[in-house]
Structure 1
Amino acid sequence: MQAAQMESVEEPPSMLWGLDPIFSTFAKLYVRDILQMTESIQVPDVYFYNSHPIFQVDVLGTVVYKRERDSFFCYGVDDGTGVINCLCWKKDLLKEKGDPTKSGAKHSDGAQGSFDPVAELEKLRQAQKNRCHLDIGDLLRVRGPVKTYRQQREITAHVYYKVNDPVMAVQIAWMMEVPQLYRQCYDKPILQQPDEMGDSSFTLLSKATNVIKDFVKQKMASKVRPYDVMDLLHPLFPVHSQTASEDQRPVAGPSSFQRLRQLVQETLQVLQDEGILYRKVRSQDEVYHVTAEDTDLLIAVKDIIREDSKREHFAEKGCHVLHILTAVRHSYSLNVTKAALEVILRKLECNSEIVSTRDNYYTAF
């Protein structure tokens, strides 16, 4: 059903594909969606998911079948939504079947001490073979372009390797990350055809977002309400009523107002996704707090890191960002997002009030 739905969407011009940041990345899509993507009629081996142009993907799944040839492995990868064929070319070290002592004899004769280049080369070959040669049931990660071969969708791997995941930490992190990417990126159609104003919705939304960012930065506002945003964004909609005849009423009717309200909602959502704004309390009075200017939130985060860093469990590595987020939601507000917390953490780190001990771990000075 999704494939039929995507076919009905007109394909964006190829000159606009570069505006979509997903086009230049390895998209972490479910196998089901990779198999159902619509192929481009303009450029071969480019596909569309929800109007996003995609030609290379990143997949993590279990090997359910395998075939081996002289120059490549062929693995069937199942991520729980479907199975896709992955063509994994063998590395040069795996193709060499000759006696390694012949090519390394001269080096071993002149080797000094206990270092043996022949033995080291064999160890390297064996280590690479262990990472690239998988059995059924192993966890495989594949990154590469999507191809259609004999009417079947497959991935030609640029990078592939066996994932050692005894406690399923990698799979759990993957299952938490991918749905967020769908909500924040893949399920939001960015590339759209120009509207009647002669400007694309993507460009209009970008302009609106920049207007609010500049306003918050210049005025150092701590709170923003929808009607404030509406007043700021109103100049983005040109008034066509001036060219109307004198006996006609202005054409600033419901359609213009509805478009402005929709733009306000989309702009506020983008700013929340980026962590610039957040709602401390969900109520009818829609108040959006400016994250970087919220002194109470900044103090709450700093106190949590300072107190928890003294505990034995966090003394060595510091507090993980997810632990801090849970504590902030418990003690300050349930509506604080991870993006908003990251804005606060960056500000505290720039002010030298906390320090990052490693990726996503923080401690107080």
Structure 2
Amino acid sequence: SRLIDGGGKKEDSVWEEPPSMLWGLDPMFNAFNRLYVKDILHMRESCQVSGIYFYNSHPIFKVDVLGTVVYKREREDLFCYGVDDGTGVINSLCWKDEQWREQGDPAIRNSAREDFNPASELKKLRQAQHSSSHLEIGELLRVRGPVKTSRQQREIMASTYYKVSDPVMAVQISWMMEVPQLYRQCYDKPFHLDSSLYSIAGHGSASYLLGRATRILKDFLKEKEVTRFRPYDIQDLLQPLVSRQPQKTSSEQAGPSSGPPTSFKQLRELLQKCLQILQDEGLVFRKVKCQDEVHHCILICIDGLSLALPDAEKGCHILHILSSVRQRYSRNVSKAALELVLKALECNSDIISTSDSHYTIL
């Protein structure tokens, strides 16, 4: 967990994720995209729907990969192949056909023609299917399917996969010529939508805005490895979200209320909601000290110092208490503030003063 107290470096840009209602307008959404493995591994996951990823603002969940098998693991129900396309390696989970696990062949009567045996031909087809689906290290595999994240690792859940016979590398050469063209013509061109469609899809809705803001903070804390921060250190990260919200007209603002909240107030409220979500998920921990906690901290300091003193009856000097409180609680505690708390504790009979500057626990 991270402690909301310290500071960290701010990100200068906020990534735009299109609303989920508009993803279907992108032709890449329902296509098997021929992306490089390195891009699949680094795609940003959607903050709206799990299992959806974005490459250059294009929503993607299905990919098509051609590469060499560099490792394999086999289970009773699937093969796990490591596919290397030259840019990276990704796991491909390839499920076995149930017929592979059947014992024997189904009983099929022989045909009247002696030169054609349906059972034999069916067996040959199954053997050919098994041969094309059972790969060894160094063989060429083409796999298509949706992308999933399991145990913080990207994988392809294969819907189709087969061994590619490419003795003269004709398939690989064709692939290496087609994929760069797809990048230039489709993948590297951002997915742009008309601004009117954003308003129809509820781009400025509270739930969508809160989801985007939460994702921004999560990415910031993960990428920058922040361990301590204060809320006002990160609120500028959400400023572009608030500034992009549509402004109400004068007629909409008119009414018995005091008026719409200012952008600064909206920013503070959005930040508080995001931090609460992060706390509920256990990603951050807020360091809050109420009055009772401060009093308890001072009592612990006095008790600890008394045990270490040779003459405990004399009590602890106020400067020793101040130094201990500053180490345990905050360096900003002043002597005057400590004296007020000590007087309150003495009035409650929690401590007693043995002199003008010495205190001990009853």
- TM-score normalised by length of structure 2: 0.49
TM-score by length of structure 1 reads 0.49
| Bigger radius of gyration among the two | 2
